[in-house]
Amino acid sequence: MRGGLIATKLGMSSMFNDSGEVIPVTLLKVQDCQVVGHRTKERDGYTALIIGAANAKPSRVSKSMRTVFANAKVEPKVSVKEFRITEAAFLDVGTVLTSDFFKKGQFVDVAGVSIGKGFAGGMKRHNFRGLEASHGVSVSHRSIGSTGGCQDPGRVFKNKKMPGHLGDERVTIQNLQVVDTDVEGGLIMVKGAVPGSKGLVVYIKDAVKKMTAV
């Protein structure tokens, strides 16, 4: 199990494959990605790489983190993330990671924070079908229907799907295929959509459920 990369979502585009089919892709930008530390089994109880990305001004970094970056002899970073690894996948502190860390055709898992959509009803939030458009139903076509009996059970069960806050939560999209990479531009192009809006920081790692490319 290897580490991963921290990238910024630039947006979506499309590409043509060898057979002329249009493929929707998301462009991910990898910038100043470096190994800034280790987690070892002897000291921490598990093995991991601490990855940092996007250089930051020292004044915009906390004093404790400035010490961490100084000890690693790397520039202060905007984003820092731990990636669990096996002991065989350790990389030296200061190692620069580029977009060719992932190869064309392989599958990756991408995690990010989804777009917040505020308060949403049951139909949008949980894909409820709503009530009838006729047969005596009026006003409450998009309502969620019954939420619990009056006498029995006399309460609303926990975890009942109801209207509420939608989005703005961590989401991982699995098994996205890497269509192409551009080392000079620091770009990774993955097939399909990635959670979050433009400019959002996302975390890319090898796919857990699909280790090899098709």
Distance set, CA 126 to CA 115, 146, 170, 195 (Å): 16, 15, 17, 18
Cβ-Cβ contacts under 8 Å for 143 (sequence gap 6 or more): 122, 130, 131
Question: Which residue shows structure tokens 């890319």?
Answer: 204
Question: What would the pLDDT profile of 55-108 be if each residue is shown by its tens digit?
Answer: 999 999 999 999 999 999 999 999 999 999 998 889 999 999 999 999 999 999
pLDDT score for 21: 92
Buried b (16+ CB within 10 A) or exposed e, 65-88: beebbeebebbbbbbbbbbebeee
Q: Where are the beta strands (DSSP E) in 75-197?
A: 77-84, 96-97, 107-113, 118-120, 164-166, 170-182, 187-191
With beta carbons less than 8 A apart as the criterion, state whether 80 and 52 touch.
Answer: yes
Instruction: State yes or no: pLDDT of 147 exceeds 80.
Output: yes
Instruction: State yes or no: pLDDT of 212 exceeds 70.
Output: no
Mean pLDDT throughout 194-207? 95
Angle at 175 between CA 183 and CA 78, to 5 degrees: 50
pLDDT score for 149: 86
The CATH architecture of the domain made up of 4-115+170-206 is Beta Barrel (2.40)
Instruction: State yes or no: pLDDT of 214 exceeds 80.
Output: no
Instruction: State yes or no: pLDDT of 17 exceeds 90.
Output: no
- Percent of the chain topping pLDDT 90: 87
pTM for the full model?
A: 0.88
Percentages (nearest 5) of helix, strand, coil residues in the chain:
15, 40, 50
Residue 33 to residue 74: CA distance in whole angstroms = 10
Mean pLDDT throughout 167-177? 96
CATH superfamily of 117-166: Ribosomal protein L3, domain 3 (4.10.960.10)
Residue 116 to residue 209: CA distance in whole angstroms = 28
Query: DSSP characters for 78-105?
Result: EEEEEEE--GGG---TT-EE-GGGS-TT
Domain ranges of the chain: 4-115+170-206, 117-166
Question: What would the pLDDT profile of 123-139 be if each residue is shown by its tens digit?
Answer: 999 999 999 999 999 99
Helix (H) or strand (E) holding 25, with range, is: strand 22-29
Mean pLDDT throughout 202-212? 88
Question: Which residue shows structure tokens 């690693």?
Answer: 72
Helix (H) or strand (E) holding 6, with range, is: strand 4-16
Mean pLDDT throughout 114-120? 97
